[in-house]
Structure 1
Amino acid sequence: MSSPVYANLRTLFTTLLLLVAIPALAKNPWEAVKKPSNQLPASIGGYSNGCLSGAEEMPLRGEGFQLVRTGRDRHYGNPYLVEFLKDFSNAVEENQLGRLQIGDMSMARGGPFSSGHRSHQMGLDADIWFSQDERAAERPLSSWERDNISAIPMADERKHILLEKNWDPRIPNILRIASEDPRVARIFVHPTVKRKMCDIAGSDNEWLRKVRPWWGHNYHFHVRLNCPPEDKSCKPQAPPRGKPCEGGLDWWFSDEFYAILNGTAPTKPKPKPEKPPKKPEMPTQCAQVLTAPAAKP
């Protein structure tokens, strides 16, 4: 029996078996798959609920950059992201602003992480350290160094203050290069870093519109790209609203925020839901991405 119907049924049956078997091998099947799929590149779904087909692995080192934390196996992206990171690194180096150290991107087929990120799921997000040991940045790192050297924090997360002794004056110029690139949708930084850059920029602050304050991000900034052109499987994020240095930034330094940060905010009792909330379903194409054959080296 070799009809097209039989072939389709056999493919469906194989896919279902794999979907049942992979979770048995790992709590998170997306972390169990170590190679990109042999499909065309596509960012599927949303930044916090999606996957990545046809991913490209970021080189360990290139003009103006090198990778760190490679042991986490999170250095894959849509080719659109890889191209941007290479262009961005080149521009940073050409402007004599140092060498970028690039951390987490996405896993080989995107998807959710067991820990560390809610986003980074469809190959369009990357974490980049604010500053680092200059001597380490200028030479190839050993595999041990890539996973063990430390970034330099720009802010104290608990006290929510800028660590002025660690402030790198190159940071605003580096972030401006990224922000003014039309491929970039957002850049997430620690609120104190955003406030510092607003103080420095004065009225020349339109480029800071894309730079958004967010939890954490005291030792790295997070670049998020817009959906690649013609990628119809990608769910875009709305453009940032409001003035570049007003509005939402104030809340991060309010009494309400400090109460939340220090665990002293009053909590209102919440009614117990009749049923536990369901996790959002992943796009249907992600089942095919997860089980597709690996791309050839």
Structure 2
Amino acid sequence: MVFDRLKTLLATLLALSLAAPALAQQEENPWAKVQRPSSQQSASIGTYTNGCLAGAAEMPMRGEGFQLVRTGRNRHFGHPDTIRFLEEFSRRVARNDLGRIQIGDMSMPRGGPFNSGHRSHQMGLDIDIWYSQDWRAQERPLTEWERDNVSPVPLADEQEHRMLEENWDPRVPKILRIASEDERVERIFVHPTIKRKMCELAGDDNEWLRKVRPWWGHNYHFHVRLTCPEGDRTCKPQRPPRGDPCGPDLDWWFSDEFYAMLRGETPTPERPEPKPLPKQCQQVLIAP
């Protein structure tokens, strides 16, 4: 049953990516036009793929163990709990001599759907962190031009599902383990090939990999998703991950069935109608 749900979800996402016009091609996306957070009490509203963010906090450009990149997109906002997590996580990475992480997309000032690039990141609890650590980010603050033009380094080939061993960094599993063992983390998404390599390296010591889930893309960054903030009744959580951390659900990503789906050789479902955002999101959008 788990496999059936996964296959249906993947087929639906493929249908959306192939058939649906990007929001960037549509006339209006009011969420992308808002430049500042609302002055409301902080709340993550809805779901990770259909929600918004009230009372967001802005992530600093640079701090102990971290540097923001691609800041021209105005996607460096999150729930205050997300900012606290990132600052604490980055310090742990730095104090374990694992370098300075580069933080990419978070959420827009009031959350909501992006014009392009993600279906999630809508309620301030999703963060993209690059695997590569540019030397310029280690030595000094990046300039505005550098932040928006520095290139990430992929660890896996997205089409062939093979590791790019020349780009592998042995710090990656250690950084991911710090994140995975934090109780505030709900999921970590990585490329299937990267998950398989980490399972091979971990051997029997793989329980920490339960939260680390294979997903397409994510060959140059990992995606950290936090749990709903404590006491926030407007946030809908995910089900906890179950099963063998390195079991059959990982093997399926390298099966003939998956490659047939990826090549468009299997039927895809009709494009679903987009769900309306929660009613509270309209108040977030118009709030001062």
Q: Deviations over 1:19-73 (max 9, x none)?
A: xxxxxxx610001111000000000000000000000000000010010000011
Decide which structure has the larger Cα Rg and report it: 1
Tell me the distance in 2 between the aligned counterparts of 1:137 and 1:257.
39
Who is 1:221 aligned against? Answer: 222
3-state SS in 2 of match to 1:104: coil
Query: What is the CA distance between 1:170 and its match in structure 2?
Result: 0.2
Tell me the distance in 2 between the aligned counterparts of 1:142 and 1:135.
10
Tell me the distance in 2 between the aligned counterparts of 1:155 and 1:53.
36
Counterpart residue type for residue 72 of structure 2 = G
Q: Deviations over 1:115-156 (max 9, x none)?
A: 100000000000000113224433210000000011110001
Q: Deviations over 1:260-297 (max 9, x none)?
A: 33x2x533486xx7xx843211111000000000xxxx
Who is 1:279 aligned against? Answer: 274
Who is 1:288 aligned against? Answer: 283
Instruction: Say whether residues 1:197 and 2:198 are aligned partners.
Output: yes
**Unpaired segments of 5 or more residues in structure 2?**
1-26
Aligned-pair RMSD on alpha carbons?
1.5
Tell me the distance in 1 between the aligned counterparts of 2:259 and 2:64.
42
Tell me the distance in 2 between the aligned counterparts of 1:71 and 1:243.
40
Q: How does 1:1-297 map to 2 (within 5 A)?
A: 27-261=28-262, 263=263, 266-268=265-267, 277-293=272-288
Tell me the distance in 2 between the aligned counterparts of 1:248 and 1:267.
19
TM-score by length of 1: 0.86
Counterpart residue type for residue 273 of structure 2 = K
Counterpart residue type for residue 60 of structure 2 = P
TM-score by length of 2: 0.88
3-state SS in 2 of match to 1:223: strand
Query: What is the CA distance between 1:251 and its match in structure 2?
Result: 0.7
Tell me the distance in 2 between the aligned counterparts of 1:286 and 1:198.
40
Q: Percent identity?
A: 69
| Kept after mapping to 2: 8 A contact 1:132/1:150 | no
Who is 1:18 aligned against? Answer: none
Q: Deviations over 1:160-203 (max 9, x none)?
A: 10000100000000000000000000000000100000000000
Structure 1 runs (4+) deviating above 3 angstroms are 265-270
